Amino acid sequence: MIIKQTHKFISELALKLRELLIAPLEHLDRPDDRRRASVAAALLLISFLMVGIEILVAGNVPVIVELALFGGYWLTRTSWYRAATWILLLVLVVPSYIVVLTLPQSEPNRVLTAFGWVAVPLILGSLIFSFRVMTLFSLANLVAISLLPFIRTELSYYALSGTLGFLTLISAAVLIVMNQRNKLEQDRQAELRDNEQKFRSFIEQSSDGLLLADERGNIIEWNQAQERLTGYTSQECIGLPLWDFQLRMLPPAGQTPEARQRVKKRFKSALQSGQADFMDKALEVEIWRKDGTKLFVQQMAFGIKTQQGYRLGSIVRDVTEQKRLEALTHLRLRLFEFAANHSTVELLQKTLDEVGELTDSPIGFYHFVEEDQKTLTLQAWSTRTLDEFCKAEEESLHYPIGQAGVWADAVRQRRAIIHNDYSSLPDRKGMPEGHATVTRELVVPIQRGNRVVAVLGVGNKPQEYTDKDLEIVSYLADVTWELAERKQAEQEREELIKKLEAQNAELERFTYTVSHDLKSPLVTIQGFLGYLEEDMAAGDIERFRQDSQRIANAVDSMNSQLKDLLELSRIGRLMNPPEDVPFDEIAQEVLEILHGGLEARGVTVTLSPNLPTVHGDRQRLKEVLQNLVDNAVKFMGDQPDPHIEIGQEGEEDGKLIFFVRDNGIGIPSKYYERIFGLFERLDAQYEGTGIGLALVKRIVEYHGGRIWVESEVGTGSVFYFSLPLKPAE
């Protein structure tokens, strides 16, 4: 443990001393330059120390040499390191020549010793300079030594032969070693280039984006995937500071000078320490591409330790599709939960709001297509459409596909349509007043079997609609139809349950009422049969005739009740085929049937002109109107100027509302619902079985309408009932 700690301490100390004393202070791009500068610095520092010791001990080296060594050492820490290496060579070689030139004539044998130091710069120079430079340097030394006898005549070639031989061998050895080293270096460089080419090919073919910045924070690597992700080319980004590029990835509103300084500070800190809160972990962020579109990416930032500091890199992966699928899955679940507690219209509007947010579309609509494939039913607009864009008044929720705009081509052609240049479409139609101006639109049909059942459309996205938008809209349109269909089935089931409950309740009332009301004439018959026996025994013929007539009246009453009950039971089972019937024809026929009773009572009937056409069972609709008019006549009371009005006013749920108004005795409000029940007779002095209004109610409801009464005692009553319109051609 102690050995490991000691080794770690020594390694860290050596690294710090190297960075402090040898590593270049200025940035050098090429690794060879940094290596040579470091070697030169180390050699000059050693030479500086050795010469300093020589000066202190012997004092036979000029101080200028020491100053030159220090100046060279300082230059190695800068981009002028090449000049420093020349200073090193000169400092190591020149003293040898000075010594030889200043040797006493009595010491010619010291020449070999003096020139022996030339071997040192030969060996050291081979670590710094190229093969060509060292060849020239070796030749220059040999030539210079060969010229020495001409300068000092006491030096003969014989005396220099040993020196020349020694330096020739040293030079040859150094050059041979350098040549072999260069070959190895060339092989290594070739291998590095091959590996680099393979690495670059791998990087370029990678589906993930990659960028790398040098120790100063400038981008030096930018692959094709990064170009596809961001929309920026390598030419635009190589050399760009990381913080400037990062600023471009922010939304336009966030590209401020303050943001740039904040981002720059974070990157500078990471470049110095190789650590940051955004490094060495996968982060999902949203970025803005060059064209203004947004992407979700997962990026992993990392640091690479170098001799000059740290390089920063980042691997970027597009997770937009993954995020989109996750969002759609979560949205589908939310819509299912939402549908459980909301109506179909609310569900459709919620879907349109979500689709609008996912596709950045302020306009959204959802239409149902009727079974005839010719009629559209407007179901919902998105909230933004209603609040910000569309103020047009809708005349009807139903309208023919033939009258719809180019967006309805989705139904006509049974395919999704995208209009990214709506204004240039030749077949587009004008918008109604108050409708939003459409710039682009995307409309998707929802198909079940061979039938288009609905369409979902969005519009006015700031950018063009893409296939991704089409996938989102298609998916949610289908999900929404599935939910709407389920909601409709649930509503139909609930309505059926309510209908069955109502029918069961009506059946119970019917059973009770029938048993009660039919029992009364039976009791009468049974009682008067006993009286007939007594009359016969007493021979009272007149009394016998009176009791027989009472029995006959009871039988007639029972027969009328049974006849009306039979008629009531036939409603919904025995009906005539529906047809288009002008309501004024029905009214005229009924008035003709009731002409005698109306004239006898002196009732005036007003029939509104131009009554519309309805669709239904002609005979049953005559029964409705006949019963209502007959009731109005029956309950006129002592009105001196009896009057009945038949007409139509307004609509309800796409059905026309008709009315029969009278100025009779009126009905108390507490009986408004009761009068439509079986055998309900509010006043026994009036004739009837009490089934007429129940019959009317059953017929109207069979036609999909409803009937109700508004009345004021002593003033009269108005019976309203709704009937379906004549279907569109």
**Does residue 534 form part of some domain?**
no
Residues 329 and 314 reside in one and the same domain: no
Residues 340 and 480 reside in one and the same domain: yes
Per-residue pLDDT at 106 exceeds 50 = no
The CATH number linked to 428 is: 3.30.450.40
Is residue 627 within 8 Å of 719, Cβ to Cβ? Answer: no
State residue 395's pLDDT score: 42
**Domain encompassing residue 621:** 576-724
Domain count, the chain: 4
**Nearest alpha carbon to residue 137 among 127, 126, 148:** 126
Residues 179 and 216 reside in one and the same domain: no
Strands, sheet with 643-652, edge to edge from the N-terminal-most edge strand: 604-607, 643-652, 655-662, 716-724, 707-712
Please state the three-class secondary structure of 211-232 as a single string: EEECCCCEEEEECHHHHHHHCC
Residues 345 and 300 reside in one and the same domain: no
**pLDDT tier at 658, thresholds 50, 70, 90:** very high
State residue 643's pLDDT score: 92
State residue 135's pLDDT score: 84
**Residue scoring higher pLDDT (217 or 388):** 217
Residues 152 and 238 reside in one and the same domain: no
**Residue scoring higher pLDDT (508 or 422):** 422
Of 437, 452, 484, which marks where a domain is finished? 484
**Does residue 521 form part of some domain?**
no
Burial class (CB in 10 A: 0-12, 13-18, 19+), 244: middle
**Residue scoring higher pLDDT (455 or 17):** 455
Residues 182 and 267 reside in one and the same domain: no
**Does residue 254 form part of some domain?**
yes
The CATH number linked to 266 is: 3.30.450.20
**Nearest alpha carbon to residue 294 among 476, 466, 458:** 466
Mean per-residue pLDDT for 52-62?
A: 67
pTM of the model: 0.48
DSSP string of 226-256, one letter each residue: HHHHHS--HHHHTT-BHHHHHHHTS-GGG--
Residues 163 and 67 reside in one and the same domain: yes
Mean per-residue pLDDT for 182-205?
A: 77
Of 433, 458, 484, which marks where a domain is finished? 484
**Does residue 397 form part of some domain?**
yes
**Residue scoring higher pLDDT (359 or 524):** 359
Of 318, 337, 371, which marks where a domain is finished? 318
Per-residue pLDDT at 587 exceeds 70 = yes
Mean per-residue pLDDT for 273-286?
A: 81
**Does residue 519 form part of some domain?**
no
Helix, strand or coil for residue 62? coil
Residues 159 and 231 reside in one and the same domain: no
Residues 330 and 416 reside in one and the same domain: yes
Residues 227 and 298 reside in one and the same domain: yes
Least confident of 25-29, 166-170, 715-719: 25-29
Looking at mean pLDDT, say which of 162-166, 376-380, 452-456 comes out highest. 452-456
pLDDT one-digit tens code per residue, 432-441 = 555 667 888 8
**Does residue 520 form part of some domain?**
no
Residues 137 and 177 reside in one and the same domain: yes
Give the whole-angstrom CA distance, residue 467 versus residue 410: 16
Number of H helices, E strands in the chain: 23, 18
Give the whole-angstrom CA distance, residue 306 versus residue 445: 59
Give the whole-angstrom CA distance, residue 701 versus residue 152: 139
State residue 566's pLDDT score: 57
The CATH number linked to 590 is: 3.30.565.10
* Average pLDDT across the chain, whole number: 77
**Does residue 444 form part of some domain?**
yes
**pLDDT tier at 527, thresholds 50, 70, 90:** low
**Does residue 123 form part of some domain?**
yes
Residues 165 and 222 reside in one and the same domain: no
